[in-house]
Amino acid sequence: MALNRYRLRHLVKDGHRGARLSSALLDRPDRLIGLILFWNNLINILAASIATVIAVRLIGEIGIALAPIILTPIILIFAETAPKTYAAIRPERIAFPAAYLLTPLLKVCYPFVFVINQISNALIRVFGINPKEKDDAPMSREELRTVVHEAGAMIPRRHQRMLLSILDLEKETVDDIMVPRNELVGIDLDDPVNEIIEQLTRSQHTRLVVYRNDVDNIVGMLHARHVLRLLREKGEFSAQDLEAICTEPYYVPEGTPLHIQLLNFQRQKERAGLVVDEYGVIQGLVTLEDILEEIVGEFTTDLQTFNQDIYPQQDGSYIIDGTATLRDINRQLNWHLPSEGPKTLNGLILERLEDIPESGTSLKIGNYAIEIRQVADNAVKKASIVILE
């Protein structure tokens, strides 16, 4: 009964004979319990009877009273407590060898076990319990999370974090990890060709949004590899040439959970999608790499894009860009800023103040003191945050 059922199933799949026999016995726990208790009680009662007969022959009728007193601690320690405690701690060492004995014994003693089970099952049915029912409910995510946490050294800590991150994908949406609209890097086909070439040369991304005049007027997605091929073939290009090699944009509804979007990327053979709201207005860009980083952690090699929104100060405070997402701030600094509503620091401050603040305005959110350092274009550009004692 103390066997780990998940490990047992694994061993059964691997062809372990003792595990297969144990699993078959556990399929009908009423029969297994009936068999074990039948022999357990039979032997204990037989031992008590023999001990009483020996005590009477040695010391007379007083032996009838002394035999139970002497035999009870012996049976309790050597036949019950010690072996069952050992079996509970090391169940596989006992269960697998015992299964070789219990399996044929069950067949031999089946008539006795059947009668015992019928009577006991009839009794528990009075309480509305079906003895054939088994609690085989699948693990919930929280239970699986607990199993991963308690795996200890059996699963490396980094792998534990990855497994837990996979479970967390259902809680997060594309809104949490997308590049927001105001930070989208794209090519405006209305710009001069030489400016477009300069932008492509300095770009840190392989996929760029292509639009005309405004991000809402999307033309398509451009891969840098296609531009290189175009240059190799023609030596130069025009805005029309760029438009011709653009691929159709792939749109993602806002609020899509990450685990669903990961599958959508796989089905659609896409690596990037434009996040749109219910009105079709572009809100940002999400990529396959963004979702994978949620599982394995940051693997970018671009030092210019890593941790660029958070600047530690000598006094222990941090200067943070208003566009920084609360999720990234909490993750990098191990903070607990509220992230249920607004996604960015600017959004959180505006929600709490219910107004556009001026530079120098201070507020307290939880255990964090925030001072507005810079405001522009009706948004908080930079703020200083320190943890209060």
Q: Quick: pLDDT tens for 46-93.
A: 988 888 888 888 888 887 888 888 888 888 898 889 998 999 899 999
Task: Indicate if the pLDDT at residue 296 is higher than 90.
Answer: no
Question: What pLDDT score does 304 carry?
Answer: 44
Question: What pLDDT score does 21 carry?
Answer: 93
Give the integer Cα–Cα distance in Å for 222 and 204.
13
Question: What pLDDT score does 325 carry?
Answer: 86
Decide: 361 and 380 in contact? Cβ < 8 Å.
Answer: no
Put simply, whether the predicted model's pTM sits higher than 0.75 gets the answer no
Given pLDDT bands bounded at 50, 70 and 90, which one contains residue 180?
Answer: confident
Domains in the chain, CATH or no CATH each: 5-125 (no CATH), 174-296 (3.10.580.10), 310-387 (3.30.465.10)
Task: Indicate if the pLDDT at residue 256 is higher than 80.
Answer: yes
Question: What pLDDT score does 328 carry?
Answer: 83
Question: What pLDDT score does 318 carry?
Answer: 94
Question: What pLDDT score does 133 carry?
Answer: 67
Task: Indicate if the pLDDT at residue 268 is higher than 60.
Answer: yes
Question: What pLDDT score does 294 carry?
Answer: 85
Question: What pLDDT score does 135 carry?
Answer: 59
Give the integer Cα–Cα distance in Å for 18 and 98.
9
Q: Quick: pLDDT tens for 98-137.
A: 999 999 999 998 888 888 888 888 888 888 877 666 655 6
**Stretch 228-257: mean pLDDT:** 87
Percentage, residues of the chain above pLDDT 70: 94
Question: What pLDDT score does 17 carry?
Answer: 92
Task: Indicate if the pLDDT at residue 206 is higher than 70.
Answer: yes
Task: Indicate if the pLDDT at residue 352 is higher than 90.
Answer: yes
Which string of DSSP letters, residue by residue, matches 186-232?
Answer: EEETTS-HHHHHHHHHH-S-SEEEEEESEEEEEEEEEEHHHHHHHHH
Given pLDDT bands bounded at 50, 70 and 90, which one contains residue 303?
Answer: very low
Question: What pLDDT score does 301 carry?
Answer: 47
Task: Indicate if the pLDDT at residue 302 is higher than 70.
Answer: no
Question: What pLDDT score does 231 carry?
Answer: 79
Question: What pLDDT score does 327 carry?
Answer: 83
Q: Quick: pLDDT tens for 127-163.
A: 887 766 665 566 777 878 887 877 767 788 888 888 8
Give the integer Cα–Cα distance in Å for 162 and 176.
18
Task: Indicate if the pLDDT at residue 293 is higher than 60.
Answer: yes
- What pairing do the DSSP bridges indicate for beta strands 282-287 and 310-312? unpaired
- What pairing do the DSSP bridges indicate for beta strands 186-188 and 207-212? parallel
Helix (H) or strand (E) holding 386: strand 379-387
Give the integer Cα–Cα distance in Å for 74 and 96.
26
Task: Indicate if the pLDDT at residue 297 is higher than 70.
Answer: yes
Given pLDDT bands bounded at 50, 70 and 90, which one contains residue 357?
Answer: very high
Give the integer Cα–Cα distance in Å for 271 and 130.
52
Question: What pLDDT score does 305 carry?
Answer: 47
Structure tokens at 231: 């240059």
